[in-house]
Structure 1
Amino acid sequence: MKIAITRLKEKAKKDAELCKKYGHACYAVSPMEASVYEDAVTSFAARTNEGEFDCIFFTSALPAVQVAPLLKKWPRVIAIGPQTAKTLESFEILCETLPAFYSRDFVPYLGDWIAGKKIGIPRADVPNPALISAIEEKGGIVCEVPIYSLVPTKEELLLDDADAIIFTSANSFSYAVWDKKTDIIPVAIGDITGERMREGGVSPAVTGDGSLEGTLIALNDYIGKISGETD
């Protein structure tokens, strides 16, 4: 199966290898692009090097790519998932990885340790009030720093050769320009993306666990089921 995966160009490098592992070919389609705030990146890295934060939470690989090369020292570092962790480790930054792949898992993972700690979160210019509230309810101090924005490309996605499309975030679906009536299999990387898709009139045939690998496993399960029904 050939799969289109909504990705920022900066984040698509390792998808082909993972898709091949599960018997598929893939290519990236980009409904949005990143506009990096260079001054904010430099400032956040400097504050980290000065020891301002007790913990940094990287919510995707892109902030890691921008911030990690500038770090000389760092506190406790949490990655939202394995791809973000691999990015950080490529810069020799040791980190912990959440057991699931959602920001909502951050506070339960850290538990009472959060109390009195200052948490730095370099992220897209999209506030996460639920995460902020959860940290503050545990007595933590939040410093959420926008270091890039997501800008719609407004270009129609090239899907003629694709059998399925995986939307890797809620915004990647909302910003996508494509023919929703096509026979392509719509796939959500996780439940938050799936909810946004349903709100937009598209019911995902497959919903993953928040990771690309988990989504590919779920997609293969789905393919197996529909193949069995048509045999």
Structure 2
Amino acid sequence: MFFVSANAARHALDAMADLWPQWPVGLHWLAVGESTAAEIHRAGLAPEYPRSGFNSEAVLALPCLADVAGKRILICRGDGGRDWLAARLRERGATVDVIPFYRRLPAPDRHCPDDIDTVMITSVEGWRALAGRIPAHARVIAAGERVAAAVAADHAGPVVTAASAHDSDMLAALPG
């Protein structure tokens, strides 16, 4: 069972706790990163997660996903999330189910003040929700190459690529 985000873990585990009097034995619990793993730990479970990268590509590189032929995998995520991991796992012979446990809604339609000089974006969906509101001169710090590419396609200002969406990586990308 794979949780794409802390929000997915929180909502999915809450829903599952209502169905199961105790957690099933023998399941492999996977998280995209440390924050998501912390949510799973709060439920008394021991997840595996990549120690760097914090994205679907890093999760797919985990040794436990090298041989998944004939296995069933549940991906818990937000509505409209990325299908990349599910497709790769299916290519490896797994049966994959995807269940959205929450829905992302755009922020209220407000313009960002012109004096904003830096914005941090951790997902392509987050960028799409805010792209038209960010001043053209603002620096955008994007979590990873994929997010940075989406930002650069729409934004005339500077784009800085952070190593990941992890807080320390995003903060490290701030100018000195």
Q: TM-score range by the shorter chain?
A: 0.7 to 0.9
- Please tell me the residue identity of whatever aligns with 2:135: K
Inter-partner Cα distance in structure 2 for 1:179 and 1:139: 42
The answer for the alignment partner of 1:81 in structure 2 is: 33
What is the number of equivalent residue pairs in this alignment?
Answer: 165
Contact 2:124 2:150 in 1 (8 A): yes
Deviation digits for residues 33-52 of structure 1, max 9, x if unmatched? xxxxxxxxxxxxxxxxxxxx
Find the partner of 2:95 among 141, 147, 153.
141
Q: Does residue 1:65 correspond to 2:10, yes or no?
A: yes
The answer for the alignment partner of 1:8 in structure 2 is: none
Inter-partner Cα distance in structure 2 for 1:60 and 1:159: 29
Query: Structure 1 residue 122: deviation in Å?
Result: 1.3
The answer for the alignment partner of 1:124 in structure 2 is: 78
Q: Which moved more, 1:60-69 or 1:150-159?
A: 150-159
TM-score (norm 1): 0.64
Larger radius of gyration: 1
Contact 1:125 1:147 in 2 (8 A): yes
What secondary structure, in the 3-state scheme, does the structure 2 residue paired with 1:155 have?
Answer: coil
Inter-partner Cα distance in structure 2 for 1:77 and 1:106: 12
Inter-partner Cα distance in structure 2 for 1:218 and 1:147: 31
Contact 2:112 2:134 in 1 (8 A): no
Question: Unpaired runs of 5+ in structure 2?
Answer: none
Inter-partner Cα distance in structure 2 for 1:114 and 1:151: 34
Find the partner of 1:103 among 56, 62, 78.
56
Identity over the aligned pairs, expressed in percent?
24
What secondary structure, in the 3-state scheme, does the structure 2 residue paired with 1:166 have?
Answer: strand
RMSD: 2.2
Inter-partner Cα distance in structure 2 for 1:218 and 1:85: 24
Deviation digits for residues 7-49 of structure 1, max 9, x if unmatched? xxxxxxxxxxxxxxxxxxxxxxxxxxxxxxxxxxxxxxxxxxx
- Greater fraction of residues in strand: 1
- Please tell me the residue identity of whatever aligns with 1:98: P
Larger RCO (alpha carbons 8 Å, 6+ apart):
1
- Greater fraction of residues in helix: 1
Query: Structure 1 residue 132: deviation in Å?
Result: 1.9
Distance 1:215-1:113 versus aligned 2 partners, 3 A rule: same
Q: Does residue 1:214 correspond to 2:155, yes or no?
A: no
